[in-house]
Chains A and B, each alone.
Chain A
Amino acid sequence: MWTICKKELADHFSSTRFLILFCLILMVALVSTYMVATNIRQVLEGVSKPSNVFLLLFTTEGKFFSLVQFIAFFGPLLGIIMGFDAINRERQHRTLAKLVSQPIFRDAVINGKFLAGVITVSIALVSMMLLLTGMGLITVGVVPGWEEIGRLFVYLIVSIAYVSFWLGLAILFSILFRSLATSALAAVALWIFFSFFMGFASDLVADALSPVRNPRDPEEVVANQRVSDAASLVSPAVLYSKATSTILDPYRRSRGSVMIVGLLEKLSMERFQSPLPLDQSILVVWPYLTLLAALTLICFGLSYVIFMRQEIRSV
C-alpha cells in the first residue's frame, strides 16, 4: 500500500492539471483575502478591537465571495481531479492486470490511491492556510488568539474530510466507468447538483412529503421547512457549509439562522453577544461531521465491493 501511495503522490505533484488547479485556487484565495484584509483594517480604524477579528478574514465576503465559500466551491474539484481516473486509467494503460497479479491485496490499490490523495489535499490546504494567515498577520496587524487558531485548525480538518469525500466518490466512479470522460463527467455532474440544485431538490422532497396547503398556517410552513432541511442534509456540500460556518463564526448559536449584515454592523452587534466557546461549536457541528464521514465510508464500501468482484481482463 505504501508503495502505491508513494508512486501516486509523485504522480499528483508532477501532474499538470493538479498544479494548474492548485495555482488557480491559491491565486484567487490570496487576492480575495488581501482585499478583505484591507477592508477589515479600514473598518477597524479608530474602533476598539473586538474579539475574533482574525476569523473575519476568512468569512467576510469580499467583492464576490468569502474565502470559505470559495473553498467550499472549488475543494470538490480538487478531489475529483485526483480521483476520477484512479482505476480506469490503469485499465486503459493495461497496467491494472499487472498490478493485481502482484502479491498485494486488491484493496491496497484503492487504499494507496485514496491515501495519496488525502495527503496531497492536506499539504495543499495547509500550505495555503499558512500563506493566507501570514498575509493576514501583515495586512491586518492583528495576532490571532489561541481559540481562533483552534477554530482554523478544526476548519482545516473538516475541509480535508470534505475534499476526501469527493475523492472517494471520484475513485468509485473510476471503478464503475471504464471511460475517463464518463467518470469525470459523472463526478462533476454530481458536484454541480449538490452545490447548486440541492436547494430545489430538497424543496421538492419537502413539498411532496409535507405539502403546505395553507401558506398562512405557520405549523405547516415550519414542518415543510424541517423536511426540506433534513432532505438537504444528504448533500455533503450542505453538511460542509453548515459545519464550517458554525466553526468559523462563534456568534452563530443555532445551526440555521442567516442574517445579512454589513461588516461594521456585525462587529458592533457582536459586542452585545457572547461568543460560543470552541468546544461548544464543535459539539454543534459534530453530527454534520459524522454524516460526512458516513457518506465517505459508503463510497469506500461500494468501491471495495465492486472492485473485488470486477473482472480484470485487459480488454
Chain B
Amino acid sequence: MAAIIQTENLTRRYGRQVAVDGLTLEINEREIFGFLGPNGAGKTTTILMLLGLTEPTSGSARVLGYDPTRDPLEIKRQVGYLPENVGFYDDLTGRENLRFMAELNRLPEARITEKIEEALRTVGLNGEGDKLVGAYSRGMRQRLGIAELLIKDPKLLILDEPTLGLDPDGTNKMLDLVHALSRDRGITVMLSSHQLEQVQRICTRVGIMIKGKLVAVGTIEELAKRKLGEGGGMNLEEIYMRYFKEA
C-alpha cells in the first residue's frame, strides 16, 4: 500500500498559538480516513497546509508524492478539496457552476458536458441541474460540492466537515455517497468532522486531534481496545470522550 498523504512533524503557529503541533501522519491508498477533533483542534489548518494554501511553520508534507509548498498546482490538479461551508455562485445554475469548475480544470470542451451529467447523476442531482444554486437546500449544495470535485477525476478527496449542518437523513446520504465513491472508484478519502458517531460507520481508520496534537490514530477496533479494554464495546464517542478528558 502506498502512502497518499504523509506528514512529518507538520507544525503551524499563529503568533504564539500553535494551531497544529508536530503532526506526523500517514494515509494510505483507498482508505477513508476520519480526521476527528473538537472546534479549533487544527483540522482545517492541517488541510490547508496539505493543499499548499497555508505555509507550514516547520515540518514537511507529501501529498500524492508532491510537496505542497513547492508543487501546489500538481496537487490541486489531482485532489478534490471541499472547503468547510463551501459556497457557490448563487446566480448561476448547478450545471453552470459545474461548467465553470470544469473549465478552470481545463477539461477538453468535448468532454465537459458528459462529465457534468455523470457527476450530477452520481450525487443524485440530475433532476435539479438547471435550477439556480441560490434555490438549493443545504443538502443539495453539499452534494453539488461533491459533484464539483468529481469533475476532475480526483485520486484523493479531502472533505472538510462534509456533514456540517445536515439533518440525519442528509448526513446518511452524504456518507453513503462518500463510501460508494471510495468502494467503486478506489478514491482515497480524508474527511474531517466532529460528529463522531456518524462518520465511524464508513471510516476505515480515524485520527483524533485535540488542541493541535494528534492524540490517537488507528482503526476503531484498535482505539477501542486501547481505551476501553477487551469487550468494552466499539463506541467511538466513548473513546473520544476519554481522550478529550485526558488532554
Q: Which residues of A are interface residues toward B (Cβ below 8 A)?
A: 3-4, 6-7, 93-95, 97-105, 311-314
A103–B54 CB distance below 8 A: no
Given known pairs A93-B87, A94-B83, A98-B83, the reply for A313 and B104 (CB within 8 Å) is no
Quote the shortest CB–CB distance from A92 to chain B (angstroms): 8
A63, B118: Cα distance in complex, Å: 63
Quote the shortest CB–CB distance from B217 to chain A (angstroms): 25
B54–A98 CB distance below 8 A: no
Closest to B89 in A: A95
Binary contact track B75-100/A, C-beta < 8 Å → 1, others 0: 01100010111111110000000001
A101–B83 CB distance below 8 A: yes
Quote the shortest CB–CB distance from B247 to chain A (angstroms): 24
Which residues of A have CB within 8 Å of B90?
93
Q: Which of B94-139 contact A (CB under 8 A)?
A: 100-101, 103-106
Q: List 6 A-B contacts (CB under 8 A).
A: A7-B100, A93-B88, A94-B83, A98-B81, A312-B53, A313-B48
A101–B87 CB distance below 8 A: no
Which residues of A have CB within 8 Å of B180?
none
B104–A101 CB distance below 8 A: no
Q: Name the contact of A102 in the complex, choosing from B44, B89, B101 (C-beta under 8 A).
A: B101
User: What 7 A-B pairs come out closest when comparing CB atoms?
Assistant: A94-B87, A97-B83, A103-B77, A3-B103, A102-B104, A103-B76, A93-B87
Which residues of A have CB within 8 Å of B104?
3-4, 99, 102-104
B76–A102 CB distance below 8 A: yes
B44–A313 CB distance below 8 A: yes
Quote the shortest CB–CB distance from A112 to chain B (angstroms): 10
A94, B53: Cα distance in complex, Å: 15
A245, B81: Cα distance in complex, Å: 53
Given known pairs A3-B100, A3-B103, A7-B100, the reply for A101 and B76 (CB within 8 Å) is yes
Which residues of B have CB within 8 Å of A4?
104
B48–A314 CB distance below 8 A: no
A101–B51 CB distance below 8 A: yes
Which residues of B have CB within 8 Å of A312?
48, 53-54
Secondary structure type dominating chain A contacts: loop
**Any A CB within 8 A of the CB of B148:** yes
Binary contact track B49-80/A, C-beta < 8 Å → 1, others 0: 00101100000000000000000011011000
A4, B106: Cα distance in complex, Å: 12
A39, B83: Cα distance in complex, Å: 62
Which residues of A have CB within 8 Å of B83?
94, 97-98, 101, 314
A94–B85 CB distance below 8 A: yes
Which residues of A have CB within 8 Å of B85?
94, 314
Given known pairs A3-B100, A103-B73, A314-B83, the reply for A98 and B48 (CB within 8 Å) is no
Closest to A2 in B: B103
Max chain B C-beta neighbours (<10 A), residue from A6, A101, A313, A314:
A101
B54–A101 CB distance below 8 A: no
B53–A98 CB distance below 8 A: no
Which residues of A have CB within 8 Å of B89?
93, 95
Closest to B104 in A: A102
B88–A311 CB distance below 8 A: no
Binary contact track B34-49/A, C-beta < 8 Å → 1, others 0: 0000000000100010
- A sample of 4 more A-B contacts (CB under 8 A), given A3-B103, A98-B87, A104-B104, is A100-B53, A101-B51, A103-B106, A312-B48
A52, B105: Cα distance in complex, Å: 53
Which residues of B have CB within 8 Å of A100?
53
B86–A102 CB distance below 8 A: no
Which residues of B have CB within 8 Å of A104?
73, 104
B51–A102 CB distance below 8 A: no
Which residues of B have CB within 8 Å of A105?
73
Quote the shortest CB–CB distance from B111 to chain A (angstroms): 15
Which residues of A have CB within 8 Å of B73?
103-105
Which residues of A have CB within 8 Å of B53?
97, 100-101, 312
Given known pairs A93-B89, A103-B73, the reply for A98 and B148 (CB within 8 Å) is yes
Closest to B82 in A: A98
A43, B86: Cα distance in complex, Å: 65
A233, B8: Cα distance in complex, Å: 54
A95, B89: Cα distance in complex, Å: 7
Max chain B C-beta neighbours (<10 A), residue from A7, A97, A313:
A97
Closest to B145 in A: A98
Quote the shortest CB–CB distance from B31 to chain A (angstroms): 21
Which residues of B have CB within 8 Å of A93?
87-90
Quote the shortest CB–CB distance from A308 to chain B (angstroms): 11
Which residues of A have CB within 8 Å of B76?
101-103
A95–B88 CB distance below 8 A: yes
Max chain A C-beta neighbours (<10 A), residue from B77, B81, B83:
B83
Which residues of A have CB within 8 Å of B84?
314
Which residues of B have CB within 8 Å of A103?
73-74, 76-77, 104-106
